[in-house]
Amino acid sequence: MPNFDSFQELLTYCDQHACSISEAALQYEEAYSGQDRDAILAGMRQILQQMRDTVASGITSQEKSMSGLCGGDAKRIMDFMAQPNCFLSPIEMKMIAYGLATLEENSRMKRIVACPTAGGSGSVPAALLAVEHEKQVNPEQTLKGLIAGGVIGEITARRMFLSGSAAGCQAEVGVASGMAAAGLVEMMGGTPKQVVEAAAISMQNLMGLVCDPVAGLVEVPCVVRNGLSGVQAAAAATMALAGVQSFIPMDEVVEAMAAVGKLMHPSLKETAEGGLAQTKTAKIFTERFKAPKTVSEIIDEQKPPSH
């Protein structure tokens, strides 16, 4: 029975059974969930379809979030792709747009797939779907990428809490970028070792990332971080496919990230007491947002001045 307490165990299993990471993950899921393979795959297809639906609606919407802090940037990126001064490739532009789209939909209270959390939900769909769309990858390969990314998140979650309040944004967007990088390598036919290396490279680059949401809302800086993390994951995946290896093994990267999370000051763990949340602009916004005017105050304001 597969038991992956560590990434080394996952790689050893793949080696001994001559299988891919996604195949090992499926065997693991069959053993632990009690579901058969068809049921697991049906569930994963449903998750992938929801990611597609979220991206599709998010890239066309100009609706603002309830706070007004975000909304419309995914569409801006899609529109900018056709401009002559756009110097990124369509694949990179879509990674940015899809990541923004997912977080903007989250901020509009629309349905998203937490991957591994709502705050980190943009990286995996951004990376996988942009590559699928621009490289005409078979959707079944995308599904394998999602499954491989999933087992990276599962093993990481056994070692550390995946929440900004427990370990900072490194545990949300950071881990999501590792899952996305791993998923891309699987999708492109990389070896199990390359899949894990990609995750290690991507996650170490976001180690120490603090959680500092303005007004405690999952909008600023969360939305733009998700717009960027898919591109970073793609860069890490490319490095791994080219043969670049992480000097620090993935198991130790996760241990280090967990330790950094413990060392992180509480003001930097979703309390909105540090980082961007404590900038002058953020404080002004927070004061207005948390003390909205009452209806009678608004009516009073609209009355003509008495002389």
Residues 3-42 that bind ligand SF4 (CB under 6 A): none
Residue that the structure tokens 């120490």 belong to: 208
CA angle centred on 223, ends 123 and 136, rounded to 5°? 35
Task: Kindly tell me which of 218 and 282 has the beta carbon lying closer to ligand SF4.
Answer: 218
Residues 180-239 within binding reach of ligand SF4 (CB under 6 A) = 211-213, 218, 221-222
Based on the shown chain and the rule CB under 6 A, indicate whether residue 97 belongs to the binding site for ligand SF4. no
Residue from 77, 131, 143, 169 touching ligand SF4 (CB under 6 A): that is 169
Which residue's CB is nearer to ligand SF4, number 164 or number 190? 164
In the complex with ligand SF4, the residue whose CB is nearer, 29 or 105, is 105
**164 in contact with ligand SF4 (CB under 6 A):** yes
Does 70 participate in binding ligand SF4 (rule CB under 6 A)?
no
| Residue number with CB closer to ligand SF4 (20 or 232) | 232
| Total residues at interface with ligand SF4 (CB under 6 A) | 13
Q: Does 119 bind ligand SF4 (CB under 6 A)?
A: yes
3-state secondary structure the chain: CCCCCCHHHHHHHHHHHCCCHHHHHHHHHHHHHCCCHHHHHHHHHHHHHHHHHHHHHHCCCCCCCCCCCCCCHHHHHHHHCCCCCCCCCHHHHHHHHHHHHHHHHHHCCCCCCCCCCCCCCCHHHHHHHHHHHHHCCCHHHHHHHHHHHHHHHHHHHHHCCCCHHHHCHHHCHHHHHHHHHHHHHHHCCCCHHHHHHHHHHHHHHCCCCCECCHHHCCCCCHHHHHHHHHHHHHHHHHHHHCCCCCCCCHHHHHHHHHHHHHHCCHHHECCCCCHHHHCHHHHHHHHHHHCCCCHHHHHHHHCCCCC
261-280: contacts with ligand SF4 (CB under 6 A): 270
Least separation in angstroms between CB 269 and ligand SF4: 8
Q: Tell which one of 92, 104, 172, 186 touches ligand SF4 (CB under 6 A).
A: 172
Nearer to ligand SF4, 107 or 141 (CB): 107
Min dist CB 218 to ligand SF4, Å, is 5
- Among 173, 195, 196, 201, contact with ligand SF4 (rule: CB under 6 A): 173
Nearer to ligand SF4, 197 or 270 (CB): 270
Site residues for ligand SF4 per CB under 6 A: 119-120, 164, 169, 172-173, 211-213, 218, 221-222, 270
